[in-house]
Amino acid sequence: MKKSHPVRRAVLAGAATVSGIVLLLSLKPASDPGAASAAGGAAPPAAAEAPQGGRGAGTGTVTGAAADTQYGPVQVRLTVSGGKVTAAEAVQAPKGGQSDQVTADAVPKLNQAAVTAGTADIDAVSGATYTSAGYKQSLQSALDKAASAGSADETGAGGAAEAEAGGAGQGTQVLTGDVTQTQYGPVQVRVTVSGGKITNAETLQAPKGGRSDQVTADAVPQLNQAAVTAGTADIDAVSGATYTSAGYKQSLQSALDKAGG
């Protein structure tokens, strides 16, 4: 048997080594694109999720119902951001004569108090009792709307329409009762119903003129609060305002009947 030549063995060994290296190099690129693809595929979803993270932290405005006072209507508009009141302004306030000065003094204080408190539980401004009462009433209405919507930035025309169409017990309804005639004048009530509960009540018409102005100013805020607290028309009459109370309850019941319908 012939012995293998040393040079031939060296050549064969070298060829085998080169073949192995070539094979390894040909396999390596096949795995790298896969890793790059996996890394590239993970990044887009993370970027897509980022904008959705702040959905409840947007900014929007909500306007409360106008509250009638002895000296004129008061209406409040709020800016809500991240579930907190960041700004408040009175889009309507009593004006003319002495009311101009009272409004100029009281409204900035009421606006600041609304932002600081974040609720309608704010103190009346001295010398502006009626304006303060109307402000608080409209402020509560705005807060109720903001709470019902979830967040102001998510409420557009379509969202509001859906809330109204939600029906009794789900969406928010603003219902106006029939006008009730009393010995001293008409009484008419409007209520906001959300989730099947009265969240706000306001008097659109009430006796006025002479002594009726004082009686109405004293009785109406109490009746409005009683309606919200009771959630029904079964509320007590205000002492000294028997006729106004009776008319209020009748108009309130009419509004609630519409909610039931």
CA separation, residue 168 to residues 101, 175, 224, 226, 249 (Å)? 43, 11, 21, 21, 21
pLDDT value of residue 76: 94
Q: Tabulate helix, strand, coil % of the chain (nearest 5).
A: 55, 20, 25
Alpha-carbon gap, residue 135 to 64, rounded angstroms: 9
Alpha-carbon gap, residue 5 to 28, rounded angstroms: 35
**CA–centroid distance for 116 within its chain:** 17
Strands (E), the chain: 59-63, 67-69, 72-81, 84-92, 172-176, 180-182, 185-194, 197-205
For the chain, the maximum distance between any two Cα atoms, rounded to a whole number of angstroms, is: 140
Angle at 228 between CA 223 and CA 229, to 5 degrees: 95
Tens of pLDDT, residue by residue over 199-225, are: 889 898 999 888 888 988 999 999 999
Q: List 186's β-bridge partners, or say none.
A: 181
3-state secondary structure of 124: coil
- Provide the angle, in degrees to the nearest 10, between the axes of the packed helices 129-149 and 211-230: 30
Closest CA to 138 of 177, 91, 175, 96: 91
Identify the segments of the chain with pLDDT beneath 50.
1-2, 28-57, 151-170
DSSP per-residue codes, 170-223: TSEEEEEPPPEEETTEEEEEEEEEETTEEEEEEEEE---STHHHHHHHHHHHHH
